[in-house]
């Protein structure tokens, strides 16, 4: 019986302690909990045997840094994760309280169980096992954990951009993604980028009565609708000139692999999404639509009257929240210029429209032939007893692009979540068999890299 | 010096007392003020010499009823007005508090000064002067005042629909409109009707992450935009099939009269509306666009995320507030069926759309050759010393259609407001010369009718 098998009960208790800290980064009243969670991680890393484990203080929430550099000549791996969590609302939909972790069946339920405390804890416990049983690690290992992932990760990005020597590494390992299906070890090799915008449309300088002025007054709500419809057609095809120019289609090999993935479109549509029907570009397979194609989505429109009953107002102003997802090899800056030109061209008479950028992150795509990814696939296959599959994600993990551009290293996205883990939703859970196997898989990964 | 000239100071003091009562019908905490305002009106009518003056209690806020029927063989006039007012927000934009009436220059500033307490008071004081000086009225007179005009007027409509014998009359006089310009006596002969809708669009049964599902998930916000754009084109032309079929264009005579009205389009656009540019159907003159053409306007869209910062949500549901204005001879029921068919046809894949009616009122158009209107034009001309002009209003006064259909009587819309009276806005005012001349004009009107 290995160290990892012997200590499963300890790992679970430790994870519960971590999960009890309500380190919600979007709510300022939880600042003390943020610090408690960061200190918890430092203490765990120190107890695991890392030679350095400390907080990096700066603007924003502290970063957690740790290192063990006792393997000269061997590669250096930089583990990334985050100790902050999403708010738990709506609270009344949780079956057990979000910060009182509860095991039901094979799962542990708590906010952060999967995203991302459970996966951060996997990384720490993998290293602990190797250090406790062999006194050393097969490769050099660094940790960089942040406490602002759920609020945009602004400060870790600023820190990495200073290219601190202590972050030098050969590859990053990001455990913040999911497996394609239970029992199916998965590596994510592509992420969509994102630009989040506010579209500000101004008509008259004050709200107008729609009876008195309707027929003559510009209506910013109508204008927002017209601009939105000018960005994407009813088939989901983006109309912004040039937007698809740099899009690299998936290779024939990748398309074939995606087609072989076990996927029940009806279950995905009706159970997972709760929708009647899928939409999007006709003729493009579903996984390619969400992994390999850019999108434009409207998230909400502020302005005018939205309360109960009737108010006949032509609002002076409307603000739409809009985001685009980008895929390799689109470029954030170029896409912003394209969007701004398209909004300008679509802006109707009588109003002004301004498209402001709130945040952005580049898309990323890694070649699976990279040796750090090949080693991960091997470790996962050994641990799970199944062939590793390569997928992409429709979401965005901006740190991957930040590591790439500033540290010049690829990110190995080895995640142990499942599609039904309720990330950002009530009843977030983590599948405990994946938690235990994840620890073993990461340890095995370091061993393979050290050969 | 007439009674009316002698008592101007009394009229002003009485009006101030009326205006000090914050009878805001949209806020339930003002219920006691609503009753105080109704009782104030009853007392004023009784003091004026009306033989009956009482509250009609029922569901909702009380109606005020009064009558003087001592002119057998003469016509019967039904005065209509409302004693409730709009909320005063935003409070900090008022130069003097909204319920502490203040005279500055030729104007009295207070919520309700023009809409509609000042005009209701005109009606009462006109009758008072005739009764005090001659002991009788030249015609039979009834009053029906309501306290829910600003919240939809549901209960007065229900009451009038019962066709109570005490409401029998030959014409209604509605003082709730405005003069086209200062010194220009004005009768409004046409009102647009309105249907106020909620458009409910449902996609998936829960909010979805736009990274994970963007490209496959139906987006109700996008769907609302598509439906809105399918209802009206960028030139303001309504695309709903059949919507214009019954529209009666203004007569050549009416168009000529409108063209002769003193109207500075630049001042209207830049000063009154605070807009850069007017919009709407090309080739249709401005006054016809706002008085004689139907419209579709979006007032607001609820759903998704509209707060500070970024949240990448594809909302499950979106609700748009939309209204149409109708002109003679469109019919509310038919227009609803047309709108619902258009929404159904425009609803994109993956979502359901439902168009619910919240409230409605028929359009109205009165022939100026009606003897009750001719008499009003004569009374106004005598009092103001200027030719009376006939206009229409883009707004809706549903009671006019309700009187027409249930009591079979025309409404004479003789209003004494001015375009810059700030109805429903901060610093509402009433032009005092119009207040005093309004009283005399109404008294003169009753004399002419009694000839």
**B24-28, B345-349, B403-407, range with the lowest pLDDT:** B24-28
Could you give the count of Cα atoms lying within 13 Å of A404 in the half-sphere of its Cβ? 17
* Nearest residue in B to A223, CA atom: B234
Taking a C-beta distance cutoff of 8 angstroms, is the pair B238, B296 a contact?
A: yes
| A239 lies within 8 A of chain B by CB | no
Residues A431, A182 contacting (CB under 8 angstroms) = yes
User: Quick one: pLDDT band at residue B424, thresholds 50, 70, 90?
Assistant: confident
| pLDDT reported for residue B26 | 84
CA atoms within 13 A on the CB side of B237: 9
Measured CA angle at B42 (ends B38, B45), to 5 deg: 135
Under an 8 A CB cutoff, do A348 and B279 touch?
yes
Question: Which band of pLDDT confidence, cut at 50, 70 and 90, is reported for residue B276?
Answer: very high
Per DSSP bridges, beta strands B140-146 and B76-82 are parallel
User: What is the C-alpha to C-alpha distance for residues A200 and A321, in angstroms, rounded to an integer?
Assistant: 9
Determine the average pLDDT of the residues in B59-64: 96
Q: How confident is the prediction along chain A (451 residues), in pLDDT tens digits per residue?
A: 799 999 999 999 999 999 999 999 988 899 999 999 999 999 999 999 999 999 999 999 999 999 999 999 999 999 999 999 998 988 888 999 999 999 999 999 999 999 999 999 999 999 999 999 999 999 999 999 999 998 878 899 999 999 999 999 999 999 999 999 888 999 999 999 999 999 999 999 999 999 999 999 999 999 999 999 999 999 999 999 999 999 999 999 999 999 999 999 999 999 989 999 999 999 999 999 999 999 999 999 999 989 888 888 999 999 999 999 999 999 999 999 999 999 999 999 999 999 999 989 999 999 889 999 999 999 999 999 999 999 999 998 889 999 999 999 999 999 999 988 988 889 999 999 999 999 999 999 999 999 9
pLDDT, position B312: 87
The pLDDT of residue A58: 92
What pLDDT score was predicted for residue A226? 98
The interface residues of chain B toward chain A in range 245-274, judged by CB-CB distance below 8 A, are 273-274
Mean pLDDT in residue range B243-264: 94
Nearest 5°: the CA angle B326, B322, B88 is: 95
> How close A127 gets to chain B, by Cα (Å)?
31
Q: Is the confidence at residue B1, as pLDDT, over 80?
A: no
Show the tokens assigned to B434: 């119009």
Among A243, A275, A392, the residue to mutate for chain B (most B Cβ within 10 A): A275
* ipTM here: 0.90
CB contact under 8 A, B323 and A312: yes
H or E stretch including A189?
Answer: strand A186-191
Q: Is B74 at the interface with chain A, CB within 8 A?
A: no
CB atoms within 10 A of CB A155: 19
* Partners of residue B312 in chain A, C-beta under 8 Å: 194, 196, 297, 299, 323
- Looking up tokens 């918890």, which residue turns up? A40
Among residues B316, B448, B244, B85, the alpha carbon closest in space to that of A299 is found at: B316
Which residues in chain B are closer than 8 Å to A394, comparing Cβ atoms? Answer: 211-215
Burial class (CB in 10 A: 0-12, 13-18, 19+), A256: exposed
Considering only CB atoms, B225 lies closest to which of A229, A279, A351, namely A229
B237 touches A: beta carbon within 8 Å: no
Q: Which helix (H) or strand (E) holds A102?
A: strand A102-104
CB < 8 Å to B424, chain A:
209
Mean pLDDT of B359-382: 94
- Interchain CB contact of A443 with B (< 8 Å): no
Chain A and chain B share a number of CB contacts under 8 A equal to 261
A290:B213 CB<8 A? yes
Per-residue tokens: B258? 């409108």
Pairing between strand A186-191 and A411-414? Answer: antiparallel
- % of chain B residues with pLDDT over 70: 100
Which residues of B fall within a CB distance of 8 Å from A289? 215-216
Tokens of A182: 């239970």
Write the residue in A208, A215, A275 that is nearest to B218 by C-beta.
A275
Mean pLDDT for all residues in chain B: 95
Cis amide linkage into residue B90, ω under 30° from 0: yes
Q: Quick one: tokens of B207?
A: 């909010």
Cα distance between residue B219 and residue B379, in whole Å: 59
Percentage of chain B beyond pLDDT 90 is: 89
pLDDT digits (tens, 9 = 90+) for B165-210: 999 999 999 999 999 998 899 999 999 999 999 999 999 999 999 9
Structure confidence by residue, pLDDT tens digits, B299-325: 999 999 898 888 889 999 999 999 999
- The alpha helices in B295-451, defined as continuous H runs, are 332-346, 371-384, 398-407, 432-450
CA separation for the pair A106, A88 (Å, rounded): 22
Q: Is the pLDDT at B414 greater than 90, yes or no?
A: yes
**Domains within chain A, CATH numbers bracketed:** 3-191+363-450 (3.40.630.10), 193-247+294-361 (3.30.70.360)
Mutation target vs A (from B154, B202, B210, B295; most A CBs, 10 A cutoff): B210
Q: Phi and psi (nearest 5°) for A277?
A: -160, 145
pLDDT at position B23 over 90: yes
Among A188, A404, A184, CA closest to A292: A188
Under the banding of pLDDT at 50, 70 and 90, the label for residue B393 is very high
């Amino acid at each position: 019986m290995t160290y990892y098998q012997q200590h499963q009960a300890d790992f679970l208790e430790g994870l519960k302690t971590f999960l009890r800290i309500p380190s919600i980064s979007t709510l300022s009243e939880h600042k003390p909990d943020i610090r408690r969670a960061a200190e918890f991680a430092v203490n765990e890393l120190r107890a695991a045997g890392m030679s350095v484990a400390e907080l990096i203080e700066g603007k924003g929430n502290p970063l957690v840094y740790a290192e063990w550099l006792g393997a000269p000549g061997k590669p250096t791996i930089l583990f990334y994760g985050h100790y902050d969590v999403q708010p738990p609302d709506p609270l009344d939909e949780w079956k057990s309280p979000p910060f009182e972790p509860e095991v039901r069946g094979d799962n542990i339920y708590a906010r952060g169980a999967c995203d991302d405390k459970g996966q951060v804890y996997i990384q720490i416990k993998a290293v602990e096992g190797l250090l406790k049983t062999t006194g050393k690690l097969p490769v050099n290992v660094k940790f960089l954990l942040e406490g602002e992932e759920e609020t945009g990760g602004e400060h870790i990005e600023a820190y990495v951009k200073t290219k601190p020597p202590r972050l030098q590494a050969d590859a990053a390992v990001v455990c913040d993604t999911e497996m394609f299906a239970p029992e199916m070890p998965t590596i994510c090799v592509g992420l969509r980028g994102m630009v989040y915008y506010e579209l500000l449309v101004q008509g008259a300088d004050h709200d107008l009565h729609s009876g008195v002025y309707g027929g003559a007054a510009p209506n910013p709500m109508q204008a927002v609708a017209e601009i939105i419809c000018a960005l994407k057609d009813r088939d989901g095809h983006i109309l912004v000139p040039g937007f698809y120019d740099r899009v690299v289609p998936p290779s024939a090999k990748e398309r074939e692999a995606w087609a072989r993935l076990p996927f029940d479109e009806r279950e995905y549509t009706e159970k997972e999404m709760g929708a009647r029907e899928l939409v999007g570009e006709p003729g493009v397979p579903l996984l390619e639509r969400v992994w390999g194609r850019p999108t434009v989505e409207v998230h909400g429109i502020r302005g005018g009257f939205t309360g109960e009953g009737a108010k006949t107002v032509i609002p002076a102003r409307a603000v739409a929240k809009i985001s685009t997802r980008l895929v390799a090899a689109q470029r954030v800056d170029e896409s912003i210029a394209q969007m701004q030109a398209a909004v300008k061209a679509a802006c109707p008479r009588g109003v002004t429209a301004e498209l402001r950028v709130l945040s952005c992150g580049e898309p990323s795509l890694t070649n699976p032939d990279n040796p750090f990814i090949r080693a991960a696939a091997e470790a996962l296959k050994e641990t799970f007893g199944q062939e590793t599959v390569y997928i992409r994600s429709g979401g965005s993990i901006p740190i991957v692009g930040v590591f790439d551009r500033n540290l010049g290293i690829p990110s190995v996205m080895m995640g142990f979540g499942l599609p039904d883990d309720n990330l950002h939703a009530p009843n977030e859970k983590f599948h405990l068999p994946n938690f235990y196997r994840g620890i073993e898989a990461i340890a095995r990964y370091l061993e393979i890299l050290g050969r």
